[in-house]
Structure 1
Amino acid sequence: MKTFFSDRAGNFGILGAIAIVPILGAAGMAVDFSRAMELRSRLQIAADGAVLAAISEKSAGVTQAVGMTNDGRVSISEAEAKFFFDAQMEAKKKSTKEHGTDSEDNFSQDVKLDLVQVKVTKAGKDIKANLTYQATLKTSFLRVLGKDSITVSGSANAVFQSESFMDFYLLLDNTPSMGVASTTADIEKMIKATKNVSDSGSRNCAFACHIVSEKGVVDTGSNYAVAKANGISIRIDAVAKAVVELTKEAEAQQSYPDQFRMATYTFGETAMDTKLFKVEGLTGDLSKVKKTAEGIKLMSIPKQGYNNDQQTDFDNALKKIGDEITAVGTGLTATSPEKFVFFVSDGVGDSYKPKGCTAKLSGSRCQEPIDTKSCTALKARGIKIAVLYTTYLPLPNNDWYNQWIKPFQTTIGTKMQECASPGFYFEVPPSQNLEGAMKILFNKVVHTPRLTS
């Protein structure tokens, strides 16, 4: 017995037999954990795809969320996410059966989904989707160590920020000064075309001879008549075209029904009845706005110097358009749209204002850059003002311009910018396209980040 216990032969075999269990366990652990990682990858891909599909821009769930008046759960998106997740997992299982090996087929059979939980909520402008999953994978080799399964879990999250609902109230200056030719080149054409035309003593007319009679007959010496006869573009025509292009841009940009609604107003049809004139009431039917915009014309005037040419009352127009605007919303839902005044003008007021005029009076006639008190009152209500300033062009050949407008010429653009809400001001000099400028300003308004609370 002493010899037996002292014999060292066969030690390696004994140690090998003892070590084989942890060696096989370590190898099995690598295999099983590799399978667990593959399972988690499959689950995560399905989960990521599910939450993204559930809150895609054109999904039924997002449509439901956008239409909700309050924050809360979005049931359609939750059902969509669960359906998409299950479909992804089923497609993967089918793929391995058709193209894979028996081991891959067994892999799917070894998996048990214990939990798939979806939660989609609307919170303000954010639609948040969360999918949590948990699965159990049967082990192959770890059973040697007494572990029959591995638990795999994870989650996927996605956020969709819905776009704002906005109402645009377009205030379009159609008063006499908008009968000026729209570009520098057109102004030169107008001067040449009226070189021998007499209109209340005026010649080389590019500024003041803009008469359209109440009966629709255009005075032969007016800017309007000369423009039409010589193919000259005047500002009001450019504004009308710009509004048409704006409606097209809005139609192309909106993601939901009635996301952008519009109303159009001018300063009146006739100089005999100057008032805020509703061309088209607030509507989501942008094709209707487009159609009526095509008919916007220069304000008619019965004779040169009628009512001392006091047809551009910014104070009254801005006050009246403020009366048209109901409660200002957050933009989060169709029932709570943000409110914008989209103001297009050359920035010079001309009205009866015996008191409070910011420039020199001509009797009781006030010609001035826009008085921003009216703008401030609108902004105080939460209404945003986007200003498209059509540069008021110097007209050095005109005596009236030199006496009354030239003294404050340099402040016109500054005051228009002061009227606008921060970041929503755009000046269009004659060298630029008014239609293009209108679309640029619209996109700036629509895509500018804004606080929702």
Structure 2
Amino acid sequence: MAILPPGFISDRSGNFGIMTALLVVPLFGAAGMAVDFAHALSLRTQLYAAADAAAVGAISEKSGAVAAAMKMSGDGTISLGKDDARNIFTSQMSGELTDVHVDLGIDVTKTANKVNSLVSFSATMPTTFMRILGRDTVTISGTATAEYQTATFMDFYILLDNTPSMGVGATATDVATMEKNTSDTCAFACHETENKNNYYNLAKKLGVSMRIDVVRQATKELTQTAKTTRVSDNQFRMGVYTFGTKAEDAKLTTISDPTVNLDQVRTYTDAVDLMTIPRQGYNNDQQTSFDSALDQMKTIITTPGDGSTSATPQKILFFVSDGVGDSEKPQGCTKKLTGKRCQEPIDTSFCQPLKNKGIRVAVLYTTYLPLPKNNWYKDWIRPFQNEIPTKMQECASPGLYFEVSMTQGITEAMKELFLKVIRAPRITS
């Protein structure tokens, strides 16, 4: 019988080595797991960044997907957006990610006035240390989404006051030149057809710019602003109207019907000119009926939509005028009459029905110029001169009024007012 050494049973000095041997595999496995997971998390972060870039970039403002959505009449999938998202995602892959196979799920859709993108990814990453524990791979996955609200579709009906008062000199220098070169110190370039030596021809000879000349050019430039601002070629339609070509048949005249062909609108606008009159004092100078023009525009402009699609555009009346009405109006004139002749600031009761219909009214007031040397002005217009801008602003929808003096640029003023219209928040519910 063997005899054990004294204290053998109570001796524990070899336990550490035994325990270490038993724990070395799980310890190394745990350390390796931390390294592998840290690596996987790093790659996952990079893949999320690529997915985010793809989701946002595929439906950015100038993207093909948004342009396609603007042309769609209904909801649906936008295949072009899927291709763009995939290309953007791939372009973000660099370093070791270029060797990793990534399964992508991409969905780009239009619903009402919103474009949504969804980019999902899944990749299998090989492990290093975790293989000790029998884990050869780690799966990384995630999803990125983005939403873009499409630009508003709008129809612009541009109503230009081309009545005789818009024949006044465009600047103080132009006014002074006309007054200096006319026997009655007249600042208006009256377009008389029965007088070959009329002041309209004189203004042309002297190189004087009339207010109507500047408005015509500003309207043409506005079509260019709309072209460079639009997201798609069908976002804006424009139509141009005047108060008529001649006083003998003064009625609303269509220069250009509303169309997305803004180059055509620009070309047609060349036809805008000062209304002709047969002779001085024709029809008691009653050629400016805002009441009639606004009534007719209310009929021409159909019921507006919310602007979410090309089939439901918002409708905007873009009204450019010096704000003084002069027409036969024996009933309802807001100022004293001369017989049946009514000279007054714009009667805003004819603006309200347009707004009640849901039409937004943008008003550019080309400041009515004081003419202290003109007796007609002193007797009839000066008494209510200060009311003119107030009434013009009252005619406009909230925030869509702009006054431009003769020292300012009408072109820039029209552009600024246009941008205010298209950037105003849209109420959808």
Same fold, TM exceeding 0.5? yes
Distance 1:45 1:419, change over 3 A: same
Q: 1:185 aligns with which of 156, 173, 178?
A: 173
C-alpha deviations, 1:214-266, integer Å up to 9, x for none? 6xxx54252x2332122211101111111111111112222212222111111
Distance 1:79 1:394, change over 3 A: same
- Give the secondary-structure state (helix, strand or coil) at the position aligned to 2:116: strand
Q: Tell me which residue corresponds to 2:238.
A: 262
- Within the alignment, does 1:154 sit opposite 2:134 as a pair? no
Give the conservation status (yes or no) of the 8 Å contact 1:125–1:452. Answer: no
- Give the secondary-structure state (helix, strand or coil) at the position aligned to 1:334: coil
- Give the secondary-structure state (helix, strand or coil) at the position aligned to 1:339: strand
C-alpha deviations, 1:49-80, integer Å up to 9, x for none? 32134223444432332222233443442354
Give the conservation status (yes or no) of the 8 Å contact 1:120–1:127. Answer: yes
Q: Distance in 1 between matches of 2:296 and 2:371?
A: 31
Q: 1:220 aligns with which of 188, 197, 220?
A: 197
- Give the secondary-structure state (helix, strand or coil) at the position aligned to 2:158: strand
Give the conservation status (yes or no) of the 8 Å contact 2:318–2:363. Answer: yes
Q: Distance in 1 between matches of 2:229 and 2:72?
A: 21
Which sections of structure 2, spanning at least 5 residues, go unmatched? Answer: none
Q: Tell me which residue corresponds to 2:190.
A: 210
- Give the secondary-structure state (helix, strand or coil) at the position aligned to 1:385: strand
Q: Tell me which residue corresponds to 1:318.
A: 294
Matches within 5 A, 1:338-357: 338-357=314-333
- Within the alignment, does 1:231 sit opposite 2:219 as a pair? no
The size of the alignment, in residue pairs, is 425
- Within the alignment, does 1:292 sit opposite 2:272 as a pair? no
Matches within 5 A, 1:16-415: 16-82=20-86, 84-85=88-89, 87-88=90-91, 92=94, 96=96, 108=100, 116-145=104-133, 147-194=135-182, 197=183, 203-207=184-188, 210-213=190-193, 219-222=196-199, 224-415=200-391
More displaced 10-residue stretch of structure 1: 325-334 or 66-75: 66-75
Give the conservation status (yes or no) of the 8 Å contact 2:71–2:234. Answer: no
Q: Distance in 2 between matches of 1:124 and 1:452?
A: 11
Distance 1:134 1:375, change over 3 A: same
Q: Distance in 2 between matches of 1:260 and 1:338?
A: 10
Q: Distance in 2 between matches of 1:314 and 1:240?
A: 19
Q: Distance in 2 between matches of 1:64 and 1:447?
A: 21
Q: Distance in 2 between matches of 1:450 and 1:176?
A: 37
More displaced 10-residue stretch of structure 1: 68-77 or 314-323: 68-77
- Give the secondary-structure state (helix, strand or coil) at the position aligned to 1:4: coil
Q: Tell me which residue corresponds to 1:451.
A: 427
Q: Distance in 2 between matches of 1:297 and 1:82?
A: 54
- Give the secondary-structure state (helix, strand or coil) at the position aligned to 1:5: coil
Give the conservation status (yes or no) of the 8 Å contact 2:105–2:119. Answer: yes
Letter in 2 for 1:133: F
Letter in 1 for 2:190: H
Q: Distance in 2 between matches of 1:277 and 1:420?
A: 22
- Give the secondary-structure state (helix, strand or coil) at the position aligned to 1:117: strand
Shift of 1:97: 9.3
Runs of 4 or more consecutive aligned structure 1 residues displaced over 6 Å after TM superposition: none
Letter in 2 for 1:213: T
Query: What is the TM-score normalised by the length of structure 1?
Result: 0.87
Q: Identity percentage over the alignment?
A: 51
- Give the secondary-structure state (helix, strand or coil) at the position aligned to 2:351: helix
More displaced 10-residue stretch of structure 1: 297-306 or 131-140: 131-140
Q: Distance in 1 between matches of 2:423 and 2:196?
A: 45
Q: Distance in 1 between matches of 2:273 and 2:364?
A: 18
Q: Distance in 2 between matches of 1:219 and 1:139?
A: 95
Letter in 1 for 2:32: G
C-alpha deviations, 1:8-39, integer Å up to 9, x for none? 44343223223423421231122111221122
Shift of 1:306: 0.5
- Give the secondary-structure state (helix, strand or coil) at the position aligned to 2:8: helix
Shift of 1:143: 4.0
